[in-house]
Amino acid sequence: MNSNGKTVVIGVIGADVHAVGNKIIEHVLTSEGFNVVNVGVMSRQEDFINAAIETNADAILVSSLYGHAELDCQGFREKCNEAGLTNILLYIGGNIVVGKQDFAEVEERFKKMGFNRVYAPGVRIEEGIKDLKKDLGLV
Amino acid sequence: MIDAYLLIDFGSTYTKLTLVDVVNEAIIATAKAITTVETNIMDGFNKAYENLCAKFDTKEVRIIKKLACSSAAGGLKMITIGLVPELTVEASKRAALGAGARVLKTYSFELTNAEIQEILNAKVDIILLSGGTDGGNSKTILHNARKIAEHIKHIPIIVAGNKCCYDEIKEIFDEASVNYVFTENVMPRLNVLNVVPVREKIREIFMKNIIKSKGMDEANNYIDGILMPTPAALLKAGEILSQGTSKQNGIGDLIIVDIGGATTDVHSLADGHPTKAGINLKGLQEPFAKRTVEGDLGMRYSALALYEASGEKLIKEYIDVPDIETRCAYLHDHIDYVPQDDTDVAFDEALAKVATRLALNRHAGYLEIAYTPLGDIFNQYGKDLLETKYLIGTGGVIVHSKHPEAILKEGLYSPSEPTILKPKDPIIKIDYEYILSAMGLLAFDLPDCALNIMKRYIVEI
């Protein structure tokens, strides 16, 4: 697949070591023509943001599998704004909260934190890529 | 008749000569004299040469080549500019240090007018401009190029940033007649370090431009070339000793500690990958040949800075005298002071121990423990040097000490600081003849000869 000219930063936030999904996301995004910058597992907000600055990224896709994303993502959008990434797209997906919570409420909470798209457990990366292409004006 | 190479180190304090028999791969003689860069660099050289000639039969030796390195007249002074402090700023700093430069300061993000003024006041020899991965951020490096074009015409600039901006930077710089060169991006992709092309460019500019501006023209005419700054020669020696040549193996991973009057340099020649399973490597890639410079750890000029950096308590662990601060201040004011009695010697050794300990703490990588739902997880930042095979000491205080091993052992792994990845049980060697930088020079022409001499002369205690 030819490059589509868009750069995305991906990674797993917080004290979370789930590496398999991260590799799958990298693989699929790359095959869809994205320039993928992977900060890997156990990444801090600053790791995502620094990578996005140097690579002039269009979007940051945050993964979290261990249920503590709400704590790990506090202030993420504000830090992006501070770093001058004012228009960057922020997506998050995985198992982002603990327990059986109503996803509509979860989505609402994460959107309030400044995430543009929030995905429920089990959503495939292909769904996210459709949105990403739309949000970046590729389709 | 013996064919010999004369290797010269125009140091900040001493001009050191090493005469090498390149056929039998042996040191014929070494000599030194005070460096005289203020008057004529050749005065000091001639004095040292006189001392040297007294040590061998001049009729039996034919000098076929003379090579030099230099850290005289303040060394090679640089500032580096990048984008994010942890990324391209750090990458460009590492590249400059690896080229043997003194990095006076680093700058991040968009330069301000005040920072430009600061750079002009610092009278640096070379500016390294980086920022952005290839295809990444271009706004900052372009802004900084414009600022430079507007204010800085006479200082050579090396551009090693986002290659997609090079056409535009070329236009900006050409229009303003800036003195510049391009090379490969120092961080082409996130966390990927590419220091070798920058190092080479720095060396080229050093050879072409810097020699003249340092009043070393005459020396340059007499010898066959001032090839590089002294620390770069030392790093080159370390590379050959560790990695070997195309014909033979080196000795493997090693660390060189060089304690000087003004700085303590640590060079590690090692990948530094984790030595235990299940460790997560984080941050910017480390260069195989890594040099760090501690400007606040030194035996004379920096003795007072060392006192401030370490605190009296730490020095007291090694020597119990009542006047520690006074002594440090005295040494700072008397940079050519030679120890006069046993207490002086012990005090110097105590300072050297503190310098070694702190310099290794800063050079080595460290582990960060994260408490996760899956148990303790370790993140490694920097190099894991736990299993490094050799620890080599050089520099006056180590070479002249009666207890060099005790000084270097302060650089080992300590159970009291278990997260700092310093070598656990290395073989300790000493550069007794003070030949490392000379061998770095020789390695440019005769790498095997340099390697054999180092294997022979840099010995275990």
What is the CATH classification number for the domain harbouring B204?
A: 3.40.50.2300
Furthest-apart CA atoms within chain B: distance in Å: 77
Residue A6: left if φ>0, alpha if ψ -120 to 50, beta else—which one? Answer: beta
Instruction: Based on the fold, state whether residues B379 and B453 are members of the same structural domain.
Output: yes
Element (H, E) at B359: helix B342-363
Q: Whose CA is closest to B30, among B43, B11, B41, A137?
A: B11
Instruction: Based on the fold, state whether residues B200 and B303 are members of the same structural domain.
Output: no
Domains with residue ranges and CATH for chain A = 7-135 (3.40.50.280)
What is the extent of the structural domain holding B36?
2-73+214-224
Instruction: Based on the fold, state whether residues B171 and B312 are members of the same structural domain.
Output: no
Which of the residues in chain B have pLDDT under 70? 213
Per-residue pLDDT tens, chain A, 139 aa: give them: 689 999 999 999 999 999 999 999 999 999 999 999 999 999 999 999 999 999 999 999 999 999 999 999 999 999 999 899 989 999 999 999 988 899 999 999 999 999 999 999 999 999 999 999 999 999 8
> How far is residue A90's CA from residue B210's CA, in Å, rounded to a whole number?
48
Helix (H, G, I), strand (E, B) or coil at B186: coil
Rounded to whole angstroms, what are the CA distances from B103 to B114, B115, B147, B188?
19, 15, 20, 22
The whole-angstrom distance between A37's CA and the closest CA on chain B is 7
Please tell me the predicted confidence (pLDDT) of residue B457: 96
Instruction: Based on the fold, state whether residues B418 and B292 are members of the same structural domain.
Output: yes
Instruction: Based on the fold, state whether residues B361 and B438 are members of the same structural domain.
Output: yes
Residue with the two structure tokens 């020699």 = B211
Residue type at position B203: R
**B262 contacts B12 by C-beta, under 8 angstroms:** yes
Hey, is the C-beta of B370 within 8 angstroms of any chain A C-beta?
Answer: yes
pLDDT digits (tens, 9 = 90+) for B263-278: 999 999 999 999 988 8
Has residue B230 been placed in a domain? no
The whole-angstrom distance between A56's CA and the closest CA on chain B is 4
Has residue B399 been placed in a domain? yes
Instruction: Based on the fold, state whether residues B280 and B416 are members of the same structural domain.
Output: yes
Instruction: Based on the fold, state whether residues B56 and B120 are members of the same structural domain.
Output: no
> How far is residue B107's CA from residue A102's CA, in Å, rounded to a whole number?
48
Name, in order, each residue with C-beta under 8 angstroms of B68's C-beta and a sequence gap of 6 or more: B7, B8, B9, B10, B219, B223, B225, B226, B227, B441
Claim: this prediction has a pTM higher than 0.80: yes
Name, in order, each residue with C-beta under 8 angstroms of A108's C-beta and a sequence gap of 6 or more: none
Instruction: Based on the fold, state whether residues B136 and B200 are members of the same structural domain.
Output: yes
pLDDT digits (tens, 9 = 90+) for B130-140: 999 999 999 99
CB atoms within 10 A of CB B317: 13
Q: At what angle do helices B436-445 and B230-243 cross, to 10 degrees?
A: 70
> How far is residue B106's CA from residue A74's CA, in Å, rounded to a whole number?
31
The whole-angstrom distance between B146's CA and the closest CA on chain A is 19
CB contact under 8 A, B190 and A40: no
Hey, is the C-beta of B135 within 8 angstroms of any chain A C-beta?
Answer: yes
CB contact under 8 A, B370 and A15: yes
- Mark which residues 281-300 of B lie under 8 Å from A by CB: 282
Instruction: Based on the fold, state whether residues B10 and B144 are members of the same structural domain.
Output: no
Please tell me the predicted confidence (pLDDT) of residue A1: 60
Q: What single string gives the DSSP state of each residue in A100-138?
A: S--HHHHHHHHHHTT-SEE--TT--HHHHHHHHHHHTT-
Instruction: Based on the fold, state whether residues B146 and B181 are members of the same structural domain.
Output: yes
Q: Which residue of B has its CA nearest to A44?
A: B282
Please tell me the predicted confidence (pLDDT) of residue B226: 84
Instruction: Tell which of A53, A60, A64 to mutate to test the B interface (max B CBs under 10 Å).
Output: A53
Phi, psi dihedral angles at B198 (to 5 degrees): -65, -45
Instruction: Based on the fold, state whether residues B133 and B40 are members of the same structural domain.
Output: no
The domain boundary residue, chosen from B198, B224, B250:
B224
Q: Domains in chain B: how many in total? A: 3
Has residue B229 been placed in a domain? no
Instruction: Based on the fold, state whether residues B251 and B165 are members of the same structural domain.
Output: no
CB contact under 8 A, A53 and B137: yes
Hey, is the C-beta of A28 within 8 angstroms of any chain B C-beta?
Answer: no
